Amino acid sequence: MSNDAIDPLAGANANADGKAPVNINWDDKNIESRYSNIATVTATREEFFFLFGTHQNWRGVEGGQPVEVELSNRMVLSPFAAKRLLLILNQTVKAYEQRFGEVKL
């Protein structure tokens, strides 16, 4: 990880309820990386479905034309894992914006 990187796992072991942190060893020997510039999420009562993909419409599309997205990955999480992801993502985006400036949508 470069010196400019925000560590998304920093603080991930801390418990909000004041209990001793859980010691987690992150094993990344089988990890795969994929690039995505678009994502969406749907949910049922039991699961959250995260869909990731890419699109090539760098200049936008003409009015009413569909945007073509090539989906490449689907992650299925329990509601508890999705909530933990939300918390760590919020924490990481805040740290990023403090360091590099606001991300404007």
Would you say the pTM of this structure is higher than 0.95? no
Q: Is 28 exposed, middle or buried (0-12, 13-18, 19+ CB in 10 A)?
A: exposed
Question: Would you say residue 36 has pLDDT above 70?
Answer: yes
Domain boundaries in the chain? 38-57+67-100
- For the chain, the 3-state helix, strand and coil shares in percent, each to the nearest 5, are 20, 20, 60
pLDDT tens readout for residues 69-87: 899 999 999 999 999 999 9
Q: Which of 12-16, 33-37, 78-82, 99-103 has the lowest mean pLDDT?
A: 12-16
CB distance 47 to 77 below 8 Å: yes
